[in-house]
Amino acid sequence: MAADLSTTSYALLGLLALDPDDPAEGLTGYELKQRCDFTMRYYWVSPATSQIYTELARLDRLGLVDVTEEGTGRRSTRRYALSDAGRERLLTWLTTSEPDFPVLKHPVALRLMFGHMVEPEQVERWLATYIAQLEERTTELRAVREMLGDDARLRSPARVAEWGLAYFASERAISEDLRKQVADGDGGPVT
């Protein structure tokens, strides 16, 4: 019993806890995936659709979610809502577990590490592309932030969105600085 859940499981429980469509109707796996894409991916991950369903089945087996089945036709639609046990479990995790230090997988920084092997133009391309992607993500996340508004119940997610925006801004500044360094001839392959 109480087999330990992965952090992703807790993240899903958390999303269910945040469900704003109050009257405990719950969310479908499909909707959950959308919410992951919408916010969670910025500072955790957005699990594959198939994993969401697998995870929901597990949470159901453990009694941490309440399932409502709407049998429309031959195929059913399941809505998942946080159960009392689920809420308690989430709360226990929040109050007793020690958060690990963040893990960053940064393919641009990794490549930059070997920048001495390629032309400086290549390094500039990496950085330029990254900066463009940062701009896109920033626009998206800004929209998320705005959608969260000033609702007191959504203050925490809103704060996290702001954290993300600050992070993107910092990444942008660093990347632009590096780009300038490289453009100023301070790089290139060492033969």
Binding residues for a second copy, total number by CB under 8 A: 62
Question: Cβ closer to DNA: 4 or 136?
Answer: 4
Candidate list 51, 122, 138, 181; residue touching DNA; CB under 7 A: 51
Does the protein bind a second copy through residue 11 (CB under 8 A)?
A: yes
Does the protein bind a second copy through residue 153 (CB under 8 A)?
A: yes
Q: Give the tokens for residue 115.
A: 């920048």
Smallest Cα–Cα separation from 161: which of 137, 180, 142, 184? 142
Dihedral over Cα of 31, 45, 143, 87: its sign:
positive
Q: Which residues of 37-74 are buried (b: 16+ CB within 10 A; e: fewer)?
A: ebbbebeeebbeeebbbebbebbeebebbbeeeeeeee
Does the protein bind DNA through residue 46 (CB under 7 A)?
A: yes
Task: Indicate which of a second copy, DNA, none lies near residue 190 (CB less than 5 to 8 Å, by partner kind).
Answer: a second copy
Of residues 5 through 34, those in contact with DNA by CB under 7 A are: 6-8, 28-31
Candidate list 26, 29, 86, 157; residue touching a second copy; CB under 8 A: 157
| Binding range to a second copy, per CB under 8 A, among 19-27, 48-56, 67-75, 113-121 | 113-121
Residue 44: helix, strand or coil by DSSP? coil
Query: Considering the complex, what minimum distance in angstroms separates the CB of residue 99 from a second copy?
Result: 4
Residues facing 66 on adjacent strands? 81
Of residues 40 through 99, those in contact with a second copy by CB under 8 A are: 40, 42-45, 90-91, 94-95, 98-99
How far apart CA 131 and CA 3 sit, in angstroms, is 42
